[in-house]
Amino acid sequence: MTNHVPELPEVQTIVSDLNKILVGRTIKTFHLLNQKTLGLSKVVFTRRVRGKKILAVKRRAKMIIIDLGEELILIHLKMTGQLIVGAAGRWLAGGGHPIANEPKELPNKFSRAWFGLDHGLSLFFNDVRKFGWIKLIKAKNLSEATANFGLEPLSKEFTLENFSKLLSRKKKSFIKQALLDQKGLVGLGNIYADEVLFAAKIKPLRRVGDLRPAEMRRLFAAIPQVLKSAIRHRGTSFSDYLDASGKQGNYSRLLKVYGRTNQPCRVCSRPIAKMKLGGRGTHWCDFCQK
């Protein structure tokens, strides 16, 4: 099967949905089913979050931030994490990596932690491979906790000048690997790095320093264009679930190269190529991309 790991559009979709449901709710209980998920003792964590009201749900890079005021809960879904809101066992909203035949009752065997909220709601953190994590920090320490994350591609700081500047620090790198480095630009994972390069008509094996100014401008334009389009379609990760209003995420149908090895290019009909680059599957059209 094709993996649909949460990247920026998927995390943004989850955050937007959770914001509508969770703001104003109070955390009543916390349940930990896998110690490794929490970088803190359950007792300490519970003491610090119990009774706190959720003021907002935010995103930084691919990280989800539940804002409790002075305390912030940071959640990273990594490859297979999900955040699901349930009410009386009913699946209301949220998302992440679709799990085949996942039991729809909550918590289930993939649940690693969950929060009991007021109004009978619960927030479940499910994670098949146990890569994801939940942390708790003081709000004043946020910049320290996010020090390794670079430029947000959908912020006003994402300008051609700033983008060129961060790329100029890695002139010898392959452009795809530079796009995946979260210390430079955040939010692009393996799927959208391939998609962005296709949209910009640039091969993943081009060296950063060899890109012409026109190619840099195409790449700069392609990044928010691809990400916004994916967000409009609620990301790629949502093929397996329906949210409260019955909407499905369906960007997977719009993917141009990722997971389409040997299938005809949607532009020129030639087969999509695949190779391993830095240990990651890399897909491109050898004719459309130069």
Q: If binding is defined by CB under 7 A, does position 78 make contact with DNA?
A: yes
Positive or negative: CA dihedral 208, 209, 214, 216: positive
Q: If binding is defined by CB under 7 A, does position 278 make contact with DNA?
A: yes
With CA atoms as reference, report the closest residue to 56 among 47, 44, 48, 64.
64
Task: Pick the closer one to DNA by CB: 47 or 171.
Answer: 171
Which of residues 27, 134, 180, 227 is near DNA by CB under 7 A? 180
Residues in contact with 213: Cβ distance below 8 Å, sequence separation at least 6, in sequence order: none
With CA atoms as reference, report the closest residue to 204 among 241, 160, 174.
174
Q: Report phi then psi at 187, rounded to 5.
A: 105, -25
Q: How far is the CB of 46 from DNA (least distance, A)?
A: 23
Binders in 231-260 for DNA, by CB under 7 A: none
- Among 28, 217, 228, 280, the active-site one is 280
Q: What is the rounded distance in angstroms from the CA atom of residue 133 to the CA atom of residue 238?
A: 21
Q: If binding is defined by CB under 7 A, does position 169 make contact with DNA?
A: yes
With CA atoms as reference, report the closest residue to 137 among 146, 128, 129.
146
SS3 207: strand
- Among 6, 9, 107, 204, the active-site one is 6
- Among 62, 112, 203, 256, the active-site one is 62
Q: If binding is defined by CB under 7 A, does position 63 make contact with DNA?
A: yes
Q: Cis bond leading into 107, ω under 30°?
A: yes
Which of residues 28, 58, 170, 201 is near DNA by CB under 7 A? 170
Q: If binding is defined by CB under 7 A, does position 73 make contact with DNA?
A: no
Which of residues 7, 17, 195, 243 is near DNA by CB under 7 A? 7
Residues with active-site annotation:
6-7, 62, 280
Report the interface residues with DNA, using CB under 7 A. Answer: 1, 3, 5, 7, 36, 61-63, 76, 78-79, 99-101, 128-131, 148, 169-170, 172-173, 177, 180, 182, 189-191, 276, 278-281
